[in-house]
Structure formats: C-alpha cells, structure tokens
Amino acid sequence: MIYYKKLKPIQAITFDLDDTLYENTSVIVKAEHSLIEFMHNQYPVTKDVNKDFWRSQQKAHFLANPSLKNDMGELRRLSLESGFLALGFSGDNLGVAIKRCFEHFYFQRSNFSLHKDIHSLLKSLSDRLPLVAITNGNVNLQQIGLDGYFSACFQASVELPMKPNKAMFVAAQAHLNIPPENILHVGDNLQKDIYGALKAGYQTAWYAEDREMNMLNEKTHVLPHVQLSQLTQLLAIV
C-alpha cells in the first residue's frame, strides 16, 4: 500500500465494479460470443451478417446521438432494433427478437461468480460503514450476488453521464448524506475513477484487478490518496 496524500476519516466507501472487484473484459467477450450463437440458433438470417454489421449499427446510432455513450444498454437495444429491421423483421416479430436478444446478452453479461474473498471483504466493510456502487457498466448486482452489500448502485445513463463526469459521485454523496471529503472511492481507472472522484471532492483509492498496477503504464497521471496492492488493505484504513 502506497500513500500519496493524507487520508481524512472515512465514513463511507463507493466502489467501481468492472475491473475493480472482478476482471471484466473476458466476461463481456464471452457474453458477446454467446449472443451471436443465440442469434444464429434462434434467427438463422443473422448468419448472413458478421460482427462488422452489428458494429456499424452501433456506430450509426452513436454518431446520430453521441450522448448514447453514457447508456450502453440503450445503444445496444437501438442497434439490435435497426439491425433486425435491416434483416427484414417487423411488427411483433421485431419486438420479440429485440427483447430476447437484449435479455440474453444482459443475463450472460452478469453470468459469473465472484471469489469468496470478495464477499468476505464486502461483508466486513458493509458491517462497518455504508457502501455504494458507482459504475459506467451495467452488471446486475443481484445476479452476481453483491446487492446485499450496497445501499445503492448508480449506473451511467444519459441522465447520469459516465465517469469522470461527477454526476454519479454527486448523486451518491446525496444518497449517503455524508461530506464528500469523508467518502473514499475505490476504482481501477485513474481518469474515470480517480480523477472523477477527486473532482467531486472525494478521497480516492486506486486498485486494478485486471492488470499490473504501474503508474508509468497508465494513460492518465493523477495521484490517488492511496494505492492498494490488494483490496483487503481497505480494512486497515477504515
């Protein structure tokens, strides 16, 4: 554990989820592959198009409405809609195809289990002080078994833009009703998590589950209050 700034008393902790509590890239890749297999099996006409077809749908919607970068779920739904329309679907068949594919992906996106040590840590922390999740992603906390540890979960949307925008941090602080300088945010991304939380007046802890932590390898060079080598070190500072 490396301290860069003196910590004030911590009365609550907010957590990023993806790549902080678990490695996320392989989960998304697996979910994407599962969705393609599902579409091929259930809607054989989708075998006539490749991944570039679906990427082009996303790109077109993003160019038409850049704010969709803050709501990946809506971007995916719209991409499924325009893609199936282009493949000749309409009416009830269109609506059913969108719904089934959308729900399949989001089930698979949260179809994993966390190590028992994460559960133990979050239980210990939640017994001491309130925890809130702040994520740019859309994992289902209940499905992965973490909902019981958090008093709230703020997910990026058009109304609450993605970190490093401070909107979700402000919303979390209002929910907690605790001064921001007494809230510690834990996250893996120096730009989105650490810089975003600092802008909102939070204290910060940097921890990445998905990669070796070396400041020199990061695209953004902003100092957190503390750098963790393992998440269990949080127990020593709260």
pLDDT in tens, 147-166: 999 999 999 998 999 999 99
Same domain, 142 and 182: yes
Among the listed residues 223, 226, 180, 211, the one whose alpha carbon sits nearest the alpha carbon of residue 20: 211
Predicted local distance difference test score (pLDDT) of residue 217: 86
Mean pLDDT, range 207-226, rounded to an integer = 90
Range with lowest mean pLDDT among 7-21, 66-80, 88-102: 66-80
Mean pLDDT, range 96-125, rounded to an integer = 96
Predicted local distance difference test score (pLDDT) of residue 215: 87
Predicted local distance difference test score (pLDDT) of residue 180: 98
Same domain, 59 and 17: no
Assess whether pLDDT exceeds 90 at residue 12: yes
Predicted local distance difference test score (pLDDT) of residue 174: 98
Name the pLDDT band for 216 (thresholds 50, 70, 90). Answer: confident
The residue among 66, 93, 109 that closes a domain is 109
The residue among 109, 138, 159 that closes a domain is 109
Assess whether pLDDT exceeds 80 at residue 220: no
Q: Which two tokens stand for residue 87?
A: 């493949």
> How much of the chain exceeds pLDDT 70, in percent?
100
Name the pLDDT band for 69 (thresholds 50, 70, 90). Answer: confident
Assess whether pLDDT exceeds 90 at residue 88: yes
The residue among 88, 109, 130 that closes a domain is 109
Same domain, 75 and 13: no
The Cα–Cα gap between 36 and 235 comes to 42
Mean of pLDDT over the chain? 95
Same domain, 214 and 124: yes
CATH assignment of the domain containing 76: 1.20.120.1600
The Cα–Cα gap between 205 and 188 comes to 9
Residue range of the domain that includes 58: 26-109
Assess whether pLDDT exceeds 90 at residue 22: yes
The Cα–Cα gap between 5 and 237 comes to 13
Q: How far is CA 172 from the centre of its chain?
A: 15
Number of domains in the chain: 2
